[in-house]
Structure 1
Amino acid sequence: MDNLDHGIIDLLRLNARAGYGDIGDVIGLSASAVKRRVDRLVGDGVIRGFTIQVDPAVDGLATEAYVELFCRGTVAPDELKRILLDVPEVVDAGTVTGSADAIVHMRSRDIASLEVALEKLRLAPNVDHTRSAIVLSRLIHRQHD
């Protein structure tokens, strides 16, 4: 990848619907040269797809929380993943350093449905307890996928 490829990716991150000609005007290539590069970036797996981002509130998922998950003993990441996949309110999760075993990003309709989802997590085998922080306002959100 060179600087032109990075420029194309940066512009597509801002607007995945940008036309090849518009991108080319910014980075100094013809529309057909931009298309060839985009096709190569897709073929090489650098660009994984083109999508839209919808405000979660539109889907009725306005309540958001970050949850620390604490397990009893040692639990393999694959087991944590299995537990978390059973809870549809979990939108993102990862194992972490520190006292918690994982950090979980959850979205739900409201506080009551968040509480039900949290209880489902707490009842899962190997889960000792959780510690939650409900998001009051989002300050920054950057997509890096």
Structure 2
Amino acid sequence: MDSIDQKIIEMLRFNAREAFSTLGKAVDLSAPAVGKRVKQLEKNGIIEGYSLRLNHDKLGVTVKAYINLKIHQSSTIRTAYNQIKPIKEVERCDRITGEDSLCILGFFKDNKALITFLERISQYGVPNTSIILET
């Protein structure tokens, strides 16, 4: 990976749908040459995939929260992780070190939806919730 690849990655981080022609102008290469580089970065596992960023406000989300979960028993960490991660309100679910076992970032329609989620995950452990005020 050279400085051109690094510049391409930097631009794709900002906009994963950027046209190869636009990327090519920035790194002084043709669109097909950029396409080859991107394919090689994908093949080498440097680019693992592309994601979607949503405007949660426009989707009716009014509550955003970090929820740290202290698991009841260490043997249930993997189970809790596998059950919580696919829930539609969960943006991220990370295993972490320290007293808590999981850190969850969730987006909820309202407080009632957050409460329902907390009740659902409390079977695995004790949640500690921090509401996001501003991002």
Query: Same fold by TM (over 0.5)?
Result: yes
- After superposition, the Cα gap between the structure-2 partners of 1:44 and 1:23, relative to the gap in structure 1 and judged at 3 Å, is same
Q: For residue 62 of structure 1, what is the aligned residue in structure 2?
A: 62
The offset of 1:15, in angstroms, is 2.2
**Structure 2 unpaired stretches of 5+:** none
- After superposition, the Cα gap between the structure-2 partners of 1:100 and 1:61, relative to the gap in structure 1 and judged at 3 Å, is same
- After superposition, the Cα gap between the structure-2 partners of 1:76 and 1:15, relative to the gap in structure 1 and judged at 3 Å, is same
Superposition map of 1:1-145 within 5 A: 1-85=1-85, 87-122=87-122, 124=123, 126-127=124-125, 129-138=126-135
Q: Percent identity?
A: 27
The offset of 1:86, in angstroms, is 6.6
1:50-88 Cα shifts (integer Å, max 9, x gaps)? 444221223322311111111223234321213314743
Residue correspondences, number: 135
**Counterpart Cα distance in 1 of 2:19 and 2:86:** 40
**Counterpart Cα distance in 1 of 2:49 and 2:97:** 31
The offset of 1:7, in angstroms, is 0.8
Q: TM-score, normalised by structure 2?
A: 0.85
* Structure 1 residue identity aligned to 2:134: S
Native 8 Å contact 2:8 2:23 kept in 1: yes
**Counterpart Cα distance in 1 of 2:4 and 2:118:** 46
- After superposition, the Cα gap between the structure-2 partners of 1:70 and 1:62, relative to the gap in structure 1 and judged at 3 Å, is same
Q: TM-score, normalised by structure 1?
A: 0.80
